[in-house]
Amino acid sequence: MSFENILKKKIRTMSDMWAEQDSRISNERKTSRVIFDTIQGGIYLEDYFVDLLDRPPVQRLRWIKQLGTADMLYPTGSHTRFEHSLGTYYIAKQMLFFLKRTHQDLITEIDEENVLAAALLHDIGHVCFSHTGELFLEYCSPVKDFIAEMEKEISVHEYIGYETLGCSYMKEIIDLINHQYGKGLDTDRIRSMIIGEHRNSEKQFLAEIIHGPIDADRTDYLLRDAYNVGFPHIIDVQRLLSTLTVVEDKEGKSFYRLGVEEKGWRAVLSLFLARNRLRSTLYEHHVSRISEEILIRILRKCIRDPVSIIGIDDYHLFCRIISEKGSKSLEDYKNRKFYKRFLFFQCTDEIKKDDVGTTFEERTEIEQEISEKLWSEESCCIMVVPKKKAKPNIGEILINPREGLPKKASAVLKEEIDRGNGLMDKGESYSIRFFVPWNKIRGLHSFEKRKVKEILSQKYDIEPEYFQEVYSPKEYKAYSI
């Protein structure tokens, strides 16, 4: 059986399980509800969205952490995908409100209903521990290559959500809601929008509200993540929403895309800068990454079939690890017994990102070779490389000027930098980090560091000087995690 069939069979099994758990009476009607949220305040949901919200696929998101293992770094960063889904729904609703003021003729009531349903359901494909579980799937199964063959800029959880919405259970729910509440929800339209596509090219901007450069998803998670880890609000959200517009993009074939008016480009910049700041201080922080890598290695030992984690939540995952005799490793993880940072190499421009984007097996080989040559032991070194971004960057956001043709946000940003305004450019660092157990970090000298560089240069067929060491504490007390 091909991997595609295995994956789809697992998704259908998960969908059938939800159908068994769903205790809703077929003729039961819900009433509208206001849910109070830390970030967005009171979120009003109409009766049919409450019906959708109370189903097992969405309620499951209550038990999946938004930031995966990052609460090991920021203890308050323990919010869930459920909260984020509600926030995305709220932001999408605000986006539609502002767009309808100037483009009423392009947005029908049915369009609005489907966009909001897609916002509420956009994360139902997430696996346990969010992107940590997703990374485990990419490491230990051919899912990454399978997604790449689709030639779509989507992540694993988006594909799983897309297939889940195509299962009979979700279609039955949508049909039931349409019949009971007299709505026009379309399963095919909803599942297309969560991967950034719309069947009508003139309404592509509606799909970009859910999956695009300045979508509701990104806006909410940046706000929510920053607030919950203790950062101040760093995005000019109201300015961004109030300057949203629809831009006719005539490159290739004519279709309408989501953009902003010229006066709102600084709000776009605030979104971009927020992402860059959180990337270094949260998403790519060395504690976030090593805790993630250690949990993935625990999963590799305890989960024989990687695809089997689809449909389970964080608590069920821990139960499975314990049942597979992984309780000792799990206790070390829960007690925060992580490896410590040993070396931090900044790759120069001569090294392309693809050159160091090794597979998990290749990284394991490098780790074993370094461990044996430096300590005469196996597997006491962990190599971490940054994760690749799945979503479009600032360059693909269209700025609608008062006169002339639309520009890309990156071009507008470059003009400001050239005028000497001192704004941050959009370059992102790319680094390789090595971690070792506590008792191995002491007594390391320049000889060992040179040895690591030599191993890397041989593996990648690149000169050693292209790996520039930017962080190397002389003793452990010089830094803390």
The per-residue pLDDT for 481 is 36
The per-residue pLDDT for 164 is 96
Q: Is the CB of residue 60 less than 8 Å from the CB of residue 77?
A: no
pTM to 2 decimals?
0.91
Residue 428 CA, chain-centre distance (Å), reads: 17
> From CA 75, how far away is CA 62, in angstroms rounded?
18
Q: List all residues 6 or more positions away from 296 whose beta carbon is below 8 Å from its beta carbon.
A: 132, 135, 136, 139
C-alpha distance from residue 94 to each of 216, 221, 241 (Å) = 9, 15, 7
Nearest to 476 by CA among 339, 285, 275: 339
Amino acid identity for residue 160 in this structure = I
Strand arrangement, sheet containing 255-261: 244-249, 255-261, 398-400, 407-408
The per-residue pLDDT for 5 is 93
> From CA 440, how far away is CA 335, in angstroms rounded?
19
The per-residue pLDDT for 362 is 86
pLDDT mean for each 10 residues of the chain (481 residues): 91 94 82 94 95 95 96 95 98 96 91 97 96 93 87 89 95 94 95 91 91 93 94 84 86 73 87 84 91 94 93 93 84 91 73 63 89 85 77 70 74 60 45 84 72 84 75 41 36
In this structure, what token pair is assigned to residue 252? 């290739």
Q: Are strands 244-249 and 467-471 parallel, antiparallel or unpaired?
A: unpaired
The per-residue pLDDT for 275 is 85
